[in-house]
Homo-oligomer: A and B are copies of this chain.
């Protein structure tokens, strides 16, 4: 059971966590968020997620009313109070209770805990994507705006696809709704769109890990390159590394998950294990000090 949420620095009963309807997240979709996992009680790559959360806020001229250190402390406290070993944490910063229903007011800050998603880092036979001509409104900012993705869920289901691939002007591949996108060429060259995408934390880890084994490129990727690709995969906090085997009616490579994706998936799992061991070691040192 997850008993607690944190709203504006105070623990509240999770089931009663609510916002008045004058909040600008409700009225104007004016809010940023972030989401990360914790394992063995330790948030994974917390500094990266906090950096992104604060950067999202700054780009929209919003202010997180806590220092990163204080905010991290509140996150750890919430995880400890809820007493779960693993799960997900959502951070949310809203435009606040606006007197005129439009101008930002004192922000509301929420820390919400969730059970570990069922599909976390599962390997897969690979998923099928439907392209959609679209560029996220402010791609670098993790706003709460998912209207396009959610409104296309019925069409995805009807057409038998698993997720979307956003293509700017029908030409430049950018990202998916909640995932970054990678291609593998010549059985080894790892390429991901470098502009106008949300800079995923898992994307960053995978770029780092891939760079140890393969040539890596962050650059604009044209839709016509799909037919040359040997592999494709998603990265995301929840999915980790997830093979993509078909885009519209086009198979990627031989239509099966590829060796590079599988290698990077293994590397990522090992990287997380090492990160957790390091966090545990630091925690023991602190306890002993």
Q: How many copies of this chain?
A: 2
Chain B hits for A148, CB < 8 A: 137-138
- CB contacts (< 8 Å) of A19 on chain B: these are 18-19, 21, 26
Q: List 20 A-B contacts (CB under 8 A).
A: A16-B20, A18-B18, A18-B19, A18-B21, A21-B112, A25-B29, A26-B26, A27-B92, A27-B144, A28-B146, A29-B143, A29-B146, A59-B151, A60-B150, A61-B151, A102-B150, A103-B153, A137-B148, A138-B147, A145-B145
Distance A223 CA – B276 CA, assembled complex (angstroms) = 56
Write the A129-149 contact mask toward B (1 if CB under 8 angstroms, else 0): 000000001100001111110
Cβ of A21 and Cβ of B5 under 8 Å apart?
Answer: yes
A175 to B31 CA separation, bound complex (whole angstroms): 23
Chain B residues with Cβ below 8 Å from A95 are: 150
Q: Which of A5, A25, A60, A90 has the most CB of B within 10 A?
A: A25
Q: How large is the interface on A (under 10, 10 to 19, 20 to 34, 35 or more residues)?
A: 35 or more
In angstroms, Cα B149 to Cα A102, docked, is: 9
Q: Is the CB of A145 within 8 A of B29?
A: yes
Cβ of A138: which chain B residues have Cβ within 8 Å of it? 147-148, 151
- How far apart are the CA atoms of A95 and B153 in the complex, in Å? 13
CA distance A95 to B144 in the complex (A): 13
Which residue of B has the minimal Cβ distance to A95? B150
**Inter-chain contacts of A17 with B (CB < 8 A):** 20-21
* CA of A24 to CA of B112, assembled, Å: 14
